[in-house]
Structures are given as structure tokens and as C-alpha cells.
Homo-oligomer: A and B are copies of this chain.
Amino acid sequence: MTHAELIEQLRWKKFPVLDDGFVCLVDVMGDDSAVVQAARVSYGTGTKKVSDDRTLIRYLLRHRHTTPFEMAELKFLVRVPMDCWRQWIRHRTANVNEYSTRYSVAIDSTQTTPPDEWRTQAEQNRQGSGLALPIEVGQKLSEDERHLQVLARQTYQRRLESGVAREQARKDLPLSTYTEAYWKIDLHNLLHFLALRMDSHAQQEIRDYSTTIGEQIVRPLFPIVWEAFADYRINSLSLTRLDQEVLQRLVSSKPSNSTPPFWSEADFLAVQNESWRSLQRCRERDECRDKLERLGLMAAESSDVL
């Protein structure tokens, strides 16, 4: 399949998200080679000899030479609950045209929650959510949700019928009301958006949208860029100055264990940063331990640490 055929296949194809949302590609300018084209003008003819396109793209992304990635552009049409859109619109580097509820009657659809999808507040993460609530609780919550959404719509309709201006009638629509927008952004800023919004700390709803955009649309259109993005951004691990020093002290110390993982929690605590030592709870220490565990330097604790 040529790139042009791929684009034709993707354009206007609605990938469903949530109960009544979608994302679809409207247009795209450029592909992997557009990144290479722009980089070669910056880095000059010399680059032609030493690196093929894939190597060059990976080099650029690994070293955060970001401007060549701005040379591709994507335009989407999205249908999103306003609550989710409030997070989305915070990214200021995109071009946006949103459905106007001043000009037109609001879209008659709200995002609804099935009984088994109500989530508890996360324990460790002040902003996140955790496991599902029991189904009995969820059933009551979903009923209440429906009741509220119906009343909100009726109120909106009665206002319009009474002659209230659309711009004022909309004032009590629930945040779950769907909106639509054209959203256009360059590839660099799109990857930044995706890195933040596909992250495990992002809210589930916007993660669903960004994962769909990333996996279903960006990955096939820009396969080499996407692979580099996964290797160097999504799945990278950053060690702070303090982390590096702890790791250096750890691997310079005599291992407790004779088989991997060679070092223990006690070894870790022995070489921790001095400023952490007196603290009973220390988020930065927890983050450091988590990284060392992921790297296989020490055993994961049995107790669950986020």
C-alpha cells in the first residue's frame, strides 16, 4: 500500500472512543521523509553519507532535535465530552475550531457511565483514580447520572422553547456534553501531547483519545518516527542527579546477594541520599527505588508502591 492509499484509507474513518465519541484524520502533510527532508537542510549534505533515514530520525528524536518534527502536520476531527476537552484545549500549540453552542443548538449527547465503570479515588495519587466501585453502588450512580442528564437536557430545551438565547441557555449543560472540533497540530507538538496524555497519570478518558490517535493514526502514518518515539520518549527512564549518585554508590558497594538482583532494600537504604534518611515518607526515595527495581538492580518490594 502506498502512503497515498494509506491516507485515503484513514481519512474520515471514525475511530470510536468512549460511548459516543470519536477521532478521525481529516488531512496530513508529510510522512517520515518530511522529517528527514527538513533535517538535511539543517544538518547539511554531510548527513547523507553517514546515515540512512531511519538512523537519522532516531538520532534526531534521541537528542531532542525537535524542529524537523514540526515539518509534518496533522488535522483531526474529534468528538469529545466537554470535561475532557477542558484538558485537551490546555495544549496551546494547536489550531482549533470548535462547534459553537452560541450559533447552534448543543449536540444532544452526553457521556454516560456504565455501572461497572465508576472508579474510586486513588490512594497514592491525589489526582488519579483506582479500582472500580462495587456494581451495586455503580448501578445507583448510573441511575442518578441518567436522571441528572435528562433533567439538564429538558431544562436546556425548555429555555430554547421559551426564547432564551442559545449562548445563555447552554449555561447549565453538564460537562459530560459532547462537543466537536477540528484540531490541527504539527507532529512534534502532537508527540508532546501524546507523551503527556497517554501517560499512566493522565485521566482515563483522555488517555483513550490519545492512545487511539497515537496507535491508530500516527503509528501507521509515521512508522519510523513512532518507533523512535516509543523507544526514546514513552519508554525512557530519567535518572536525576540524586538517582545517579545512589545507583553509583549501590554498584560500588558489595552486593548482598550472590544471584540477581544482587542488591537488597537494606543496601539501597544504606546508600540513599542523606536528605532522605531522616524522612519516614519520601516520595523522591520511592521513585528512586522504583527505578532501581525496574532496572533489575534490586528486588521489587512485596508491598505495593505506586
Q: Which A residues contact B (CB, under 8 angstroms)?
A: 26-30, 34, 37-39, 41-47, 58-59, 62, 67-68, 70-71, 73, 75, 77, 81-83, 86, 89-90, 92-93, 95-100, 102-104, 110-111, 113, 118-122, 126-130, 133, 137, 140-141, 144-145, 147-149, 151-152, 155, 158-159, 162-168, 170-176, 180-182, 184, 186, 203, 230-232, 235-242, 244, 247-248, 251-253, 260-262, 283-284, 287, 294-297
Contact = CB atoms under 8 A, between A and B. Distances in A.
A296 to B, nearest CB: 4
B41 A171 contact: no
Contacts of A98: 41-42, 90
Given A46-B104, A171-B175, A251-B296, A164 B133 contact: yes
Contact of A168 (B119, B126, B140): B119
Contacts of A261: 251-252
B120 A163 contact: yes
Contact of A30 (B27, B102, B104, B284): B27
Nearest to A260: B252
A281 to B, nearest CB: 9
Given A62-B240, A120-B164, 16 more contacts: A42-B99, A44-B103, A46-B104, A47-B126, A70-B95, A71-B97, A71-B182, A110-B172, A118-B159, A118-B162, A141-B159, A170-B175, A173-B175, A237-B238, A247-B295, A251-B261
B176 A174 contact: no
A261 B163 CA distance: 39
**A-B pairs with lowest CB-CB distance, top 8:** A44-B104, A129-B165, A70-B95, A235-B241, A92-B92, A172-B174, A38-B97, A102-B127
Nearest to A92: B92
Nearest to A30: B27
